[in-house]
């Protein structure tokens, strides 16, 4: 860390603070621990260290030692120095590079598709680069893999092979790598903020100010996009602003809060009618997961037991302990249902609130089992001083607390209502004591925290499917031909969750035995990773076995409403279509000419307009023994082989040649645009005129990326040159002093 730069930024004099010989030793101690840390993290830690050192030198040195070790341990998860991914341009370059590494491993292992390799072995080879980052796509269970393969189970049901193929497709996709790197960078920044004290009461509760600001910006950008697009259905002549459609769903905080309250109230009514009692539990992780503590009257302070865990690690620990609890309760035949709410402490560490209903005879057993697993580890944190333990010891309360619901004092729904509102939009919550702010401001921090760390805030435990409930609420007309379906529809339509539970077989009926199930269908087009896209089409009753449609087909996302000529709408159910106005809403004569040319070429091959639509969404068409696909706005034609392996090899060879040509073309374009960007920067040309002279939006976007990269490199070189000049000036200064020194 550059102390001179820190002095200028912080406006302090380090020599004046560390004036004595002992203070100089402490300064060297701090500098040694701050070596090889990112500049921004080091500056934040040093600023905190100075404040602590002025109050207590020994405590400050211990804090610096422990927190710098936690930061360095966190940095070991990255196979590259962290500055390689600190900008969007660099993350995109790293994503391309590491996706290419996976592709090369795939090509080498299969000899460019000419050699057959065991699927599991191939996956382990290809995902080696991802393992270095800790990234992993969704994988199937490999339990008894060899025995199932030997008996031919995978040949009869290729689900295993399909999942492995989809995982490999993600590993070689630079877009997938880009998403993983973006998520990893955000969480690194937030974890560093937690360790250095930028996430805590009195500073920025729940989430850092930077993450909260970025979260608001993402929400604002998403809202602008929703308000600039429509969902249209030409078949039925329907048109709706996309923002209104989203606002009517559970994505709307008000709708989500109301639905949770209805379900919670229904659970409580069902429990009262069937003789269950409710108990409220609070489950907190051990002290080693908490970075900062909060005193009742004073400010927050660092926790000396903290070992560097982030909120995702803490949530994984709580889930693991809950899994053990559920297994034990199942072995003891304890039936329960209710809700779980996850919310953060002021330092971002998650803790759980559970409202569970159980038979009175099993209440003490449920409580005892939950308490035993909540206190399974680090019991010494709760042990009182020797000789001070009272006969009725309740020192476990900081980790596990419970409160039996007394209907005479209040309802279970009223007890949990505060936690539901506090973690959604803060409605009807006056003050957030944990955040020391208003309820609405605290709720913003909580939702930003959940988004950053990917933590599920609410989970129903037991009971029927809420997705079936939502589909039934779409139905407006009675289902007189099916009594079960009508009873379920009527309960959902009147927001009677208790009646819905009864119609669906009770709180403990297994999902496969529920009388009303979801009706699903598989889309004609696969997604970009070759996976089937499963869409909900309605509900299915066990009485009639006839699916009842709850959704209209033909919805599309469009930049313009109905009646606009030349509108290029996107199928709403197609997961291949990216939700981006940049990609989908570009209009102009060039687009029309390109589409017209494709239609002419398709007509020559005997294809219908519907076939061309399938091609544009990634499908491959077999027309009279000829395979046709669309790549980069070009129709590729190949003769279909009889054997599937030969067909795969044929396409693999064509793809490799085509990809090589496209890659070479893009490399030449990048090189040419970079040279133009350097000339523009050196001679002070007109950027707008340069961009306007490029042939198409894709090239213009690529040119802007190259220009931004050149500016970044220029800035780095300028900083390095200034640093070298400062070192030279310092060296000259000391040499001049030595020459003037008398001997």
* Rg (the chain; Cα; Å): 31
CA distance linking residue 269 with residue 407, whole number of Å: 12
Quick one: three-class SS letters along 400-418?
EEEEECCCCCCCHHHHHHH
Can you read off the two tokens belonging to residue 695?
A: 């042939």
CA distance linking residue 475 with residue 548, whole number of Å: 9
CA distance linking residue 197 with residue 204, whole number of Å: 9
CA distance linking residue 60 with residue 47, whole number of Å: 11
Residue 568 CB: number of other CB atoms within 10 A? 15
CA distance linking residue 362 with residue 383, whole number of Å: 28
Q: Kindly name the residue from 206, 306, 415, 500 that is annotated as catalytic.
A: 415
Sheet hosting strand 230-233, strand order edge to edge? 238-241, 230-233, 556-558, 570-571
CA distance linking residue 354 with residue 279, whole number of Å: 8
User: 324 Cβ partners below 8 Å, 6+ apart?
Assistant: 373, 376
Can you read off the two tokens belonging to residue 74?
A: 């966190």
Can you read off the two tokens belonging to residue 300?
A: 């927050």
Judge contact between 63 and 78, C-beta under 8 A. no
User: 534 Cβ partners below 8 Å, 6+ apart?
Assistant: 520, 521, 522, 523
Residue 719 host element (H or E): helix 697-740
CA distance linking residue 41 with residue 304, whole number of Å: 20
Residue 31 CB: number of other CB atoms within 10 A? 14
Judge contact between 551 and 536, C-beta under 8 A. yes
Judge contact between 356 and 366, C-beta under 8 A. yes
Q: What sign results for the dihedral spanned by CA atoms 722, 725, 729, 730? A: positive
Taking alpha carbons only, the member of 110, 249, 16, 222 closest to residue 655 is 110
CA distance linking residue 635 with residue 612, whole number of Å: 10
Residue carrying structure tokens 């669309």: 630
Residue 131 CB: number of other CB atoms within 10 A? 11
- Respond yes or no: is residue 419 known to be catalytic: yes
CA distance linking residue 287 with residue 74, whole number of Å: 19
Can you read off the two tokens belonging to residue 83?
A: 């500055």
Q: Kindly name the residue from 49, 206, 270, 419 that is annotated as catalytic.
A: 419
CA distance linking residue 152 with residue 164, whole number of Å: 17
Q: What sign results for the dihedral spanned by CA atoms 399, 404, 409, 412? A: positive
Residue carrying structure tokens 């970025």: 214
- Respond yes or no: is residue 428 known to be catalytic: no
Residue carrying structure tokens 């005129």: 689
CA distance linking residue 354 with residue 700, whole number of Å: 53
Taking alpha carbons only, the member of 154, 171, 162, 200 closest to residue 44 is 200
CA distance linking residue 92 with residue 99, whole number of Å: 11
Judge contact between 703 and 592, C-beta under 8 A. no
CA distance linking residue 334 with residue 329, whole number of Å: 5
Can you read off the two tokens belonging to residue 75?
A: 């940095």
Length of the chain: 743
Residue 534 host element (H or E): strand 534-541
CA distance linking residue 431 with residue 437, whole number of Å: 6
Can you read off the two tokens belonging to residue 561?
A: 């409403």
CA distance linking residue 33 with residue 62, whole number of Å: 11
User: What residues act catalytically?
Assistant: 415, 419
């Amino acid at each position: 860390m550059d102390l001179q730069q820190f002095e200028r930024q912080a406006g302090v004099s380090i020599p004046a603070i560390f004036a004595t010989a002992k203070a100089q030793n402490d300064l060297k101690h701090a500098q040694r621990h701050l070596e090889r840390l990112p500049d921004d993290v080091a500056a934040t830690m040093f600023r905190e260290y100075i404040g602590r050192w002025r109050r207590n030198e020994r405590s400050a040195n211990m804090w610096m030692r422990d927190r710098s070790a936690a930061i360095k341990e966190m940095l070991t998860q990255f196979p590259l120095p962290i500055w390689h991914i600190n900008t969007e341009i660099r993350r995109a370059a790293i994503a391309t590079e590491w996706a290419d590494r996976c592709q090369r491993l795939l090509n080498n292992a299969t000899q460019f598709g000419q050699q057959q390799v065991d699927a599991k072995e191939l996956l382990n080879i290809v995902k080696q680069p991802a393992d270095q980052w800790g990234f992993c796509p969704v994988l199937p269970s490999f339990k008894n893999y060899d025995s199932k393969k030997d008996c031919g189970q995978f040949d009869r049901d290729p689900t295993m092979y399909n999942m492995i193929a989809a995982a490999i497709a993600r590993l070689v996709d630079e877009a997938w790598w880009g998403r993983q790197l973006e998520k990893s960078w955000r969480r690194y920044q937030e974890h560093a903020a937690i360790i250095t004290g930028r996430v805590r009461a009195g500073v920025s509760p729940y989430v850092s100010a930077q993450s909260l600001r970025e979260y608001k910006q993402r929400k604002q950008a998403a809202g602008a996009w929703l308000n600039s697009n429509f969902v249209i259905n030409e078949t039925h002549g329907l048109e709706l602003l996309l923002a209104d459609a989203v606002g009517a769903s559970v994505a709307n905080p008000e709708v989500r809060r109301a639905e949770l309250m209805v379900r919670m109230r229904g659970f409580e009514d069902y429990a009262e009618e069937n003789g269950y009692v409710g108990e409220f539990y609070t489950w907190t992780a051990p002290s080693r997961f908490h970075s900062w503590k909060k005193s009742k009257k004073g400010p927050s302070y660092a926790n000396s037991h903290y070992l560097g865990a982030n909120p995702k690690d803490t949530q994984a620990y709580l889930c693991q302990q809950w899994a053990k609890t559920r297994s034990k309760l199942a072995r003891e035949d304890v039936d329960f249902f209710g809700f779980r709410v996850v919310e953060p402490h002021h330092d971002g560490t998650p803790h759980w609130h559970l409202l569970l209903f159980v038979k009175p005879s099993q209440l003490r057993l449920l409580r005892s089992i939950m308490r035993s697993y909540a206190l399974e580890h680090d019991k010494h944190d709760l042990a009182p001083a020797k000789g001070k333990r009272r006969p009725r010891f309740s020192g476990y309360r900081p980790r596990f607390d419970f409160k039996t619901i007394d209907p005479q004092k209040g309802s279970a729904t009223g007890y949990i209502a505060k936690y539901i509102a506090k973690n959604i939009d803060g409605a009807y919550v006056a003050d957030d004591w944990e955040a020391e702010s208003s309820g609405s401001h605290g709720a913003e921090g909580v939702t930003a925290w959940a988004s950053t760390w990917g933590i599920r805030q609410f989970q129903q435990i037991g009971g029927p499917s809420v997705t079936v409930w939502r589909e039934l609420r779409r139905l407006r007309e009675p289902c007189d031909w099916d009594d079960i379906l009508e009873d379920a529809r009527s309960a959902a339509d009147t927001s009677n969750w208790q009646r819905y539970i009864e119609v669906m077989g009770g709180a403990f009926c297994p999902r496969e035995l529920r009388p009303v199930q979801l009706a699903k269908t598989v889309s004609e087009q696969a997604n970009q990773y070759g996976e089937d896209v499963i869409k909900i089409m309605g509900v299915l009753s066990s009485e009639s076995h006839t699916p009842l449609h709850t959704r209209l087909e033909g919805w599309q996302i469009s930049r313009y409403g109905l009646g606009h000529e030349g509108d290029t709408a996107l199928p709403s159910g197609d997961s291949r279509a990216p939700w981006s106005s940049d990609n989908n809403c570009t209009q102009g004569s060039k687009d029309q000419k390109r589409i017209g040319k494709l239609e002419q070429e398709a007509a020559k091959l005997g294809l219908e307009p519907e076939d061309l639509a399938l091609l544009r969404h990634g499908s491959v068409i077999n027309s009279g023994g000829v395979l046709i696909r669309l790549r980069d706005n070009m129709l590729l034609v190949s003769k279909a082989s009889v054997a599937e392996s030969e067909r795969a090899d044929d396409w693999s060879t064509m793809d490799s040649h085509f990809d090589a040509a496209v890659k070479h073309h893009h490399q030449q374009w990048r090189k040419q645009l970079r040279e133009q960007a350097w000339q523009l920067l050196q001679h002070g040309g007109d950027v707008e005129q340069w961009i306007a002279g490029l042939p198409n939006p894709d090239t213009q976007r690529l040119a802007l990326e190259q220009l931004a990269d050149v500016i970044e490199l220029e800035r780095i070189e300028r900083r390095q040159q200034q640093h070298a000049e400062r070192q030279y000036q310092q060296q000259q200064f000391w040499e001049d002093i030595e020459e003037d020194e008398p001997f």
